[in-house]
């Protein structure tokens, strides 16, 4: 689907005020959070199109009772989906609405989330200085709200940007601070992301043993909370490590495990990537018969 058509389908009605309701406010809010829960389930599986449909349903419910905190959260989540569709200007526009509401109701945590997401947009556009400035603002908001999870996530994101800028010492310090906070609050998802970041940083510095150690730690954290999308990335990182070090058998093992996870998620793009990696390895290993099986699987996916 072309991006312009996708945006039309996703955006139409997202900000339109919903019809009034005779249901009690508490019931409507409960319904909104139910839709939000369903949306997050889709989001965490990488089904961003399914997620946005349920986030819009949550938004519609919150609009019916003028639940400003809920509306700002729904808008933020819709913007997250746009970001994953690479509709950056649309995500930024939606975030502007969320920031306006959160400023009005003095929702510091919500503003921290908004600025952090805006920083991700800046990062995608290559504006690293702008992203760091926004993340600094998000940290101020999270500190005011005493939101340690948000604070730790922003610190990890700062580490990511410093990696991109080649500032490895600054990156290490930010990621280490993030890990320390995530450990204290037992945020396994945040730890998985931070461990992955640290593994990548070590890999860039050719500290291969340390890189593998943190990739494996990331996998354990994501397995603990059954974060399949995170596990898929972890398995690919581990496979890539073994491929780079010349251990093709172990690399093949982990690429196959990643493929299993992505098939379960029905994440076609990642399936294709896994299949291409497996085919490449089998070719290098001279296992032509097995290679043909995976080539056929890739051909069938390409026809979807």
Domains and CATH numbers, the chain: 1-105 (1.25.40), 246-304 (no CATH)
Asked if residue 4 has pLDDT above 70, the reply is no
Asked if residue 86 has pLDDT above 80, the reply is yes
Q: In this structure, is the dihedral angle defined by the CA atoms of residues 65, 11, 99 and 160, taken in order, positive or negative? A: positive
Q: Which of 32-36, 46-50, 173-177 bottoms out in mean pLDDT, i.e. has the lowest?
A: 46-50
Asked if residue 140 has pLDDT above 90, the reply is yes
Please, which residues have CB within 8 angstroms of residue 136's CB and are 6 or more apart in sequence? none
**What pLDDT does residue 202 have?**
97
Average pLDDT over residues 45-51: 92
Average pLDDT over residues 215-235: 96
**What pLDDT does residue 286 have?**
97
Q: HSE-up of 98 (CA within 13 Å, CB side)?
A: 30
**What pLDDT does residue 24 have?**
83
Average pLDDT over residues 167-188: 98
Q: If we measure between CA atoms, which residue out of 250, 264, 281, 278 comes closest to residue 297?
A: 278
- Separation CA 232–CA 226 (nearest Å): 11
Asked if residue 134 has pLDDT above 80, the reply is yes
Asked if residue 13 has pLDDT above 90, the reply is no
Do 190 and 156 contact (CB within 8 A), yes or no? yes
Asked if residue 21 has pLDDT above 90, the reply is no
Q: What percent of the chain has pLDDT over 70?
A: 93
- Separation CA 190–CA 195 (nearest Å): 9
Please, which residues have CB within 8 angstroms of residue 229's CB and are 6 or more apart in sequence? 44, 45, 46, 265, 267
Q: Which residue has the higher pLDDT, 23 or 210?
A: 210
Do 108 and 93 contact (CB within 8 A), yes or no? no
**What pLDDT does residue 9 have?**
43
**What pLDDT does residue 227 have?**
92
Asked if residue 16 has pLDDT above 90, the reply is no
What's this model's pTM, rounded to 2 decimal places? 0.88
Q: Which residue in this structure is represented by tokens 């920083």?
A: 119
**What pLDDT does residue 22 have?**
65
Q: If we measure between CA atoms, which residue out of 269, 295, 299 comes closest to residue 85?
A: 269
**What pLDDT does residue 20 have?**
56
Average pLDDT over residues 247-271: 95
């Amino acid at each position: 689907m072309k991006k312009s058509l996708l945006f039309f389908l996703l955006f139409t009605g997202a900000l339109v005020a919903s019809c009034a309701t005779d249901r009690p406010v508490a019931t409507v809010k409960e319904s909104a959070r139910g839709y939000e829960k369903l949306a997050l389930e889709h989001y965490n599986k990488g089904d961003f199109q399914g997620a946005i449909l349920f986030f819009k349903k949550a938004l519609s419910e919150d609009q019916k009772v003028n639940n400003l905190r809920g509306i700002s959260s729904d808008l933020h989540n819709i913007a997250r989906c746009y970001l994953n569709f690479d509709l950056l200007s649309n995500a930024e526009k939606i975030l502007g609405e969320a920031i306006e509401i959160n400023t009005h109701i003095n929702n510091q945590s919500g503003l921290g989330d908004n600025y952090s997401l805006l920083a991700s947009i800046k990062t995608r556009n290559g504006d690293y200085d702008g992203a760091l400035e926004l993340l600094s603002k998000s940290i101020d908001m999270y500190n005011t709200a005493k939101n340690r999870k948000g604070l730790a996530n922003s610190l990890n994101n700062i580490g990511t940007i410093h990696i991109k800028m080649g500032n490895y010492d600054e990156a290490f310090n930010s990621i280490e601070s993030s890990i320390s906070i995530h450990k204290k609050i037992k945020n396994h998802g945040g730890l998985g992301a931070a461990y992955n970041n640290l593994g990548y940083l070590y890999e860039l510095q050719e500290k291969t043993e340390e890189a593998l150690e943190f990739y494996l730690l990331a996998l354990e954290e994501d397995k603990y909370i059954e974060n399949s999308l995170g596990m898929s990335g972890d398995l690919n990182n581990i496979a890539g490590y073994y491929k780079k070090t010349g251990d093709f058998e172990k690399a093949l093992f982990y690429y196959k495990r990643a493929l299993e996870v992505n098939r379960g998620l029905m994440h076609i793009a990642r399936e294709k990537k896994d299949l291409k990696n497996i085919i490449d390895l089998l070719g290098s290993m001279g296992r032509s018969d097995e290679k043909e099986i995976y080539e056929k699987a890739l051909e069938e996916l390409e026809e979807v």
